[in-house]
A = this chain, B = another copy of it.
Amino acid sequence: MTDTNKESHYTENVQDHLKQVESLLHKHALVEEVVHKQEIPREDRHALVDTLLHKQHLAELRRKLDSLHPADIAYILEALPIEQRLLVWDLVKSERDGEILIEVSDAVRESLIATMNREELRAAAEQLDTDEIADLAPDLPHNVMRDLFRALPIEEREQLRAAMSYPEDSVGALMDFNMIHVREDVTLDRGDHFKGVLPINLIVVNEPDAIVGDLMLTDTIRLHPDDKAEQTAHAFERYDLVSAPVVEEEGKLIGRVTVNVVLDFIRTESESDLLNQAGLREDEDIFASVWKSVQNRWTWLALNLVTAFIASRVIGIFENSIEKLVALAALMPIIAGIGGNSGNQTITMIVRALALGQINAGNARKLFAKEVGVSGLNGLIWGSAVGLFAFLIYHSIPLGLVMTLAMVLNLLVAGLLGVLIPLTLYKLGRDPAAGSSVMITAITDSGGFFIFLGLATIFLT
């Protein structure tokens, strides 16, 4: 449901809207506070809360919200702490609930849905198109979904079932069912078979009596509902598409994907990439409870704790050497740390090239050679720097040489595995972006400690 609201909110900045809403909420809160502080008996207090002043702020707030685009209301809801968020949500006209729920982030949507009963949720969802209901479905209670299915006409029920059946990363999950069917000529095509695309600009520049079959483009991109959404997004970027038809095997047209959905998809993907890199499982409502945040973050910390325990035990093996030469304890984190940094640089390059489809059997070996070359050269440069550092602090040439050698070896390990880990995950059909970074850091930590302390044990103690 694309809102074509034409009000003046477009020309204002959404952050100004937020400030105005916050100021009204603040005035409202002040009145509440005054009422409470005066320790007025409950009955009288109720009367006071209902003063003209108080009502006036809420009415003003409601008017402000009515004038806003649903996406702007969604933005404001996301930026407000939970109590104020729910107050604003109460003031929004219930016939706008659906379009706003579609716009808010998953985490905030959850907090809003939690306050709504079965009837309200059904009413909100019924305002939406079937492809939008499918987007909401994972957050709706089962009984609400059952009510919705029953209430839908048979054609839309089938659409909803279809939309919900596609995996999240497929074209089917992106498409909508809004299409105008134009007959190719006088014969009626009842089978919904896809014939071609008739761009609206061709309609405008041609004579009104032109035949559709002559004007339409038949050799344009066609998507299949099982196509990968990521690939489709790349096609939109490459060919500057604005919309593309979704066609099934037998040539049946079942929907379309528009550029606005692709825009949202790309933004969501890139955000989840950034969140995953820091080990945040999902988008976190910035005002989520402490306990919810801890749950969102624990998997990553636990995983890193395990790898840290392993690294600790590797150091434990060499406790004798460290006892003899305590400088090793101070120097070992340098080798491990720079190895991790260098490995993550390689991983980032490879993951990106894999995502763009630039790596194949033909050039993988060249990439290996390049990354090993970069690692080796970096090892010599930074190895010399740390070797010099060790010599200057501890006045021992052998210690400096061991530092240099350990750095070269650890960076070579980082370079080799920085290529190998994402390529292997990719070959196994896994997402090379998820997990590569933890693995390389674990290896360059434990491996770095082992290489450095091992060399030191052999040559220095």
Measuring CB to CB, which residues of chain A are less than 8 angstroms from any residue of chain B?
Answer: 2-3, 6-8, 10-11, 13-15, 18-19, 22, 26, 69, 71-72, 75, 78-81, 103, 200-201, 203-204, 217, 219-222, 231, 234, 236-242, 259-260, 262-264, 266-267, 269-271, 273-275, 277-280, 284, 286-288, 290-291, 293-294, 297-298, 300-301, 304-305, 308-309, 311-313, 315-316, 319, 322-323, 326-334, 336-338, 341-342, 344-345, 347-349, 352-353, 356-360, 362-363, 366-367, 370, 373-374, 377-378, 381-382, 385-386, 389, 393, 445, 449
Contacts and interface: CB of A to CB of B under 8 A. Distances in A.
A121 to B, nearest CB: 24
B266 A263 contact: yes
Contacts of A342: 297, 301
> Can you list the 3 inter-chain pairs with the closest CB atoms, starting with the nearest?
A270-B270, A71-B238, A329-B329
Contact of A75 (B238, B242, B382): B238
Contact of A277 (B217, B274, B290): B274
A26 B259 CA distance: 37
Contacts of A385: 305
A198 B201 CA distance: 13
A374 B8 CA distance: 41
Nearest to A76: B358
Given A293-B370, A305-B382, A366-B287, A349 B280 contact: yes
Of A19, A322, A333, A377, most buried by chain B (CB within 10 Å of CB) is: A333
A300 B204 contact: no
Contacts of A286: 349, 353, 358-359, 363, 367, 370
A308 B330 contact: no
Nearest to A263: B237
A286 B319 CA distance: 42
Given A341-B279, A378-B297, A333 B330 contact: no
A210 to B, nearest CB: 13
Given A237-B264, A348-B274, A11 B221 contact: yes
A316 B290 contact: no
Nearest to A203: B204
B300 A315 contact: no
Contacts of A275: 348, 352
Contact of A313 (B26, B72, B330, B344): B330
A87 to B, nearest CB: 14
Contacts of A357: 14-15, 18, 75, 79
A368 to B, nearest CB: 12
Contact of A348 (B2, B241, B278, B298): B278
Contacts of A356: 75, 78-79
A222 B11 contact: yes
